[in-house]
Amino acid sequence: MTVQPVEEVTVRLEELLFPSIANVEVLSADVDDETVRIDARSTVAGAICPGCGGWSRRVHSSYLRFPVDVPSGGRRVVLCLRVRRFLCPVISCGRRTFAEQMPGLTRRYGRRTERLRSTLAAVGLALAGRAGARMARVFGVTISRSTVLRLVQALLDPEVPAVRDPQRPSLRDRPGRRGKPTAGGSAARPGGIEPGRLARGPAHGRGGMP
């Protein structure tokens, strides 16, 4: 039997658990009958202040964050992330400190990982609220119908705006029917879901399936 060095096993664990996420170190992984708990942290030396864009390496403090992740093998997966709070280096910035985010994994105030969030949003796009929440329970995620709808709606209001080509006007700039975005979004919404359908949910919409 070949024994592999611990470092090699850890690297493989990171590739296995976070295949598309850079700069994450897995510290440990515990499995019981119901839950997989993964302790991890960022390996980036600093972070960018969301208020002013300044780069900081000055750690103010740290804390643990427990975002729920995509289930694995029928078990609930909870990440235990060691998150650092940095001091903003820019005196004129309104934020004295800020918490780091791990791109592709966390967002401010997010209780779920980005990949669970996008999975649930995709389920919500396909099935809408009630059926989406039921489908999520099938693969081990407890979520309310209204939260499914909120995740779908959040797709229309991304945290980071897409980079626009100045030569190419967006739908918002075009004249005519498609150029009249409202508070609920434009006609070009993902999956062709109409604002009313999102707001009302499936019980009152066209596809009022149980």
Residues of this chain that interact with Zn ion (CB under 5 A) are 49, 51-52, 54, 88, 90, 93, 95
Residues ≥6 apart with Cβ < 8 Å to 138: none
Residue 178 contacts residue 189 (beta carbons within 8 Å): no
Task: Using the minimum distance from each CB to Zn ion, give the nearer residue, 36 or 47.
Answer: 47
Task: Using the minimum distance from each CB to Zn ion, give the nearer residue, 49 or 151.
Answer: 49
Beta-strand relationship, 24-31 and 35-42? antiparallel
- Tokens 């389920």 belong to 123
Task: Using the minimum distance from each CB to Zn ion, give the nearer residue, 37 or 95.
Answer: 95
Least Å from the CB of residue 85 to Zn ion: 13
Residue 145 contacts residue 132 (beta carbons within 8 Å): yes
Least Å from the CB of residue 53 to Zn ion: 7
Task: Using the minimum distance from each CB to Zn ion, give the nearer residue, 44 or 93.
Answer: 93
Nearest to 85 by CA among 99, 102, 106: 99
